[in-house]
Amino acid sequence: MGEAPAFFADSLLGDFPNGVDLKSKGHKTAICIGSKIYVIGGADHESTAVIGVQIFEKSSGEWINPTVLGTKPKVSNGHSAVLLNGDRILVIKGNSKSDGCFWFLEVGTPFIREQEKTHGNEVVAWSKGVLGNVEKPIVISGPSGVGKGTLISELMKEFPSMFGFSVSHTTRAPREKEQNGFHYHFSDRSVMEREIKDGKFLEFASVHGNLYGTSVKAVEVVADAGKRCILDIDVQGARSVRASSLDAIFIFISPPSFEELEKRLRARATETEEQIQKRLRNARAELEQGKSSGLFDHILVNDDLESCYENLKNILGLTEGVKTAHKTYPELVDLPVEHLVSKIDQKILINCGAGEYQKASDNMYVLDLSLLKGGAPGRTRGLNLFVTNPSTDRVNGDNQLS
């Protein structure tokens, strides 16, 4: 149980309407979901630099400090909050640019329910909202030596502005030409295990006797650069990602034959004989799982490298002439502290004409959430922000505002 924040606790005992809940005082907002009231704002109990979250349990009258996962938004001098679908809260920070003002606090999503089982405590998770249409991340799996790394580096070389590699953590020793922070984050097992426990990993697995994992940050760094993320992970990791909120495309790379796989692995000459034997043993199981599980959207046979690479590009929609990201870069706008929000279906109306010197018709924005993807522990993608003129545009569920 936590100490009550400086909030008007009496009013929290009353009932809140569903949908948009806005009660702000001292830069805090309160959103009621069932018997719980989520109070967002003020200082976090661990750091004064980020927005805090506390939960008021109406039935017992107790304050709870939940476990807060994800990247926390920095404090601002005002925000608004809107309840979405009963399981997440959209927080709009005032006084910030539109690429950093939309945040989602997940309170009852499947990810949260899963985390609560592990933590044995109330869990909430922040996820930053990303504007624009960045395409789905790509998960590439396949046995050791099949050519995953070769295909990925071809893709990154040909389309440098489009793709970004998710740099995994591993406890295995670096190979001769591998650089820390570029090929992998080479880590101590104890450090990595602690970070996994702290919820810093999207997925992890024990592969060939070492621990490998994708940190939430590894994927966020790529999303923040406006690039499409590529993950090179094993089949167990792919399964975990499939169960996560990262809405990805799953591609399995298969060798033309087991003999050819062994030949490539030996020719690469990066492993000891013992390691090669272990990787070949595991390859049989991976091939079995990769081909039969239904986990993968596409299976590519890497026989001739050039034609396999062409097939990979076709799957990713990279036809002749496409060299840059499909991303539509949204124009940046400034959101003032004083703004009013309302919700109509999947659209959030943000009226920035609420200030003393502004007319109600100034700066009305519509945030369209109908294409939302992803979520905690990564980014929430697919947000679209439109400027609208309230005197001419009609806003309803069917209206396209662009």
Ligand X SMILES: Nc1nc2c(ncn2[C@@H]2O[C@H](COP(=O)(O)OP(=O)(O)O)[C@@H](O)[C@H]2O)c(=O)[nH]1
Ligand Y SMILES: Nc1ncnc2c1ncn2[C@@H]1O[C@H](COP(=O)(O)OP(=O)(O)O)[C@@H](O)[C@H]1O
Give the amino acid at 142. Answer: G
Choose, by CB under 6 A, the member of 109, 144, 171, 380 that binds ligand X.
Answer: 144
Size of the site for ligand Y (CB under 6 A): 14
Is 264 a known active-site residue?
Answer: no
Could you say whether residue 54 binds ligand Y (CB under 6 A)?
no
Which residue do the tokens 């590009």 mark?
Answer: 313
Residue 49 or 305 with smaller CB distance to ligand X: 305
Catalytic annotation present for 284: no
* Per-position x/- string for 220-239, each x denoting binding to ligand X as judged by CB under 6 A, each - no binding: ------------xxx-xx--
Contact (Cβ atoms closer than 8 angstroms) between residue 317 and residue 138: no
Task: Give kind and range of the element (H or E) at residue 12.
Answer: helix 9-12
Q: Which residues pair with 141 in a beta bridge?
A: 252
Q: Which of 88, 228, 239, 279 is catalytic?
A: 279
The yes or no reply on residue 374 touching ligand Y (CB under 6 A) is: no
Site string for ligand Y, 266-305 (x = CB under 6 A): -xx---------------------------------x--x
CA distances from 373 to 247, 381, 402 (A): 7, 5, 20
Q: Which of 207, 216, 230, 246 binds ligand X (CB under 6 A)?
A: 207
- Is residue 178 near ligand Y by the rule CB under 6 A? no
Q: What is the DSSP string of 264-302?
A: HHHHHT-S-HHHHHHHHHHHHHHHHHHHHSS--SEEEE-
Residue 353: CB atoms within 10 A of its CB come to 17
**Which span (62-70, 83-91, 201-209, 305-313) binds ligand X, by CB under 6 A?**
201-209
Which among 175, 266, 281, 284 is annotated as catalytic? 175
Instruction: Give 320: exposed, middle or buried? Use CB within 10 Å, 0-12, 13-18, 19+.
Output: exposed
Least spacing, CB of residue 247 vs ligand Y, in Å: 24
Measure the CA–CA gap between 305 and 150, rounded to whole angstroms: 9
Asked if residue 237 binds ligand Y (CB under 6 A), the reply is: no
Of 46 and 304, nearer to ligand Y (C-beta) is 304
| SS3 (DSSP) at 43 | strand
> What number of H helices and E strands is found in the chain?
9, 25
Nearer to ligand Y, 255 or 374 (CB): 255
Selected binder of ligand X within 165, 212, 252, 365 (CB under 6 A): 212
Pick the piece of the chain touching ligand X (CB under 6 A) from 28-36, 39-47, 68-76, 200-208: 200-208
**In this structure, are residues 104 and 375 in contact, taking their beta carbons and an 8 Å threshold?**
yes
Residue 302 touches which of ligand Y, ligand X, none (CB < 5 to 8 A by kind)? ligand Y
Backbone angles phi, psi at 24, to 5 degrees: -120, 135
Q: Take residue 359 and report the two structure tokens written for it.
A: 């007319």
Quick check: 245 binds ligand X (CB under 6 A)? Answer: no
Binders of ligand Y among residues 106 to 145 (CB under 6 A) are 142, 144-145
- DSSP-assigned letters across all residues of 226-250: T-EEEEE--HHHHHHHHHSS---EE
Least distance (Å) between residue 28 CB and ligand Y: 50
Q: Is 205 in the site for ligand X (CB under 6 A)?
A: yes
Q: Which of 214, 244, 289, 384 binds ligand X (CB under 6 A)?
A: 214
CB contact at 8 A, 355 and 338: yes
Helix-helix angle 273-292:235-243, to 10 degrees? 40
106 binds, among ligand X, ligand Y, none (CB under 5 to 8 A by kind): none
52 binds ligand Y (CB under 6 A): no
**Which letter, b or e, does each residue of 168-190 get, where b requires 16 or more Cβ atoms within 10 Å of its Cβ?**
bbbbbeeeeeeeeeebbbbbeee
**Least Å from the CB of residue 149 to ligand X:** 5
Shortest approach of ligand Y to residue 172 CB, angstroms? Answer: 12
Element (H, E) at 263: helix 258-268
- Residue closer to ligand X, measured from CB, 98 or 170: 170
Is 150 a binder of ligand Y (CB under 6 A)? yes
> Which are the catalytic amino acids?
175, 268, 279
Interface residues toward ligand X, by CB under 6 A: 144-145, 149, 168, 172, 203, 205, 207-208, 212-214, 232-234, 236-237
Can you give the binding site for ligand Y, defined by CB under 6 A? 142, 144-150, 264, 267-268, 302, 305, 308
